[in-house]
């Protein structure tokens, strides 16, 4: 019976079996959606890596568009402010992205920082390039 319950949860919640967790000991905000951090993974081991926030895309700091750079700086400052106000920061990484960074969620207790940043920037203009229709 116990094996059936475990198999059920693995089938229903497949993401739970492939996530990695860790507590951040030191960090640096790279831009509005990426941080470089030291993650304590237990047994006095830590890993320095880049984490990109899942489901969230901030404007680019290195854009040619001045207005986009302005919004990107605001995003970076806001993320730093949120992370500085937290006492314990936890990372749940989901997978590796195409640039080698881990893509994951940042938590303070039950508060998801990714969702907080999405709500903060919901009124920002969309700076992504539009594909031309034929």
Torsion of CA 21, 24, 27, 32, to 10 degrees: 50
Find the CATH number of the domain harbouring 81: 2.40.50.90
Average pLDDT value for residue range 11-32: 68
pLDDT digits (tens, 9 = 90+) for 67-116: 888 888 988 999 899 888 888 888 888 888 888 888 999 888 888 888 88
Q: Examine residue 27 and state whether it is found in any structural domain, yes or no.
A: yes
Residue 53 pLDDT > 80? yes
Q: Examine residue 6 and state whether it is found in any structural domain, yes or no.
A: no
Q: Examine residue 56 and state whether it is found in any structural domain, yes or no.
A: yes
Comparing 118 with 127, the larger pLDDT belongs to 118
Q: Examine residue 10 and state whether it is found in any structural domain, yes or no.
A: no
Domain that holds residue 85: 19-120
């Amino acid at each position: 019976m116990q094996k059936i319950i475990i198999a059920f949860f693995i089938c229903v919640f497949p993401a739970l079996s492939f996530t990695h967790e860790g507590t951040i000991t030191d960090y640096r905000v790279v831009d509005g959606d990426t941080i470089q951090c030291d993650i304590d993974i237990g047994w006095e081991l830590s890993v320095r890596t880049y984490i990109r926030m899942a489901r969230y895309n901030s404007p680019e700091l290195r854009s040619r568009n001045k207005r986009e750079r302005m919004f990107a700086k605001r995003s970076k400052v806001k993320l730093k402010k949120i992370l500085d106000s937290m006492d314990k920061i936890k990372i749940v990484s989901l997978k590796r992205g195409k640039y080698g960074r881990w893509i994951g969620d940042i938590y303070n207790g039950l508060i998801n920082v990714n969702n907080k940043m999405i709500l903060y920037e919901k009124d920002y203009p969309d700076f992504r390039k539009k594909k031309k229709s034929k």
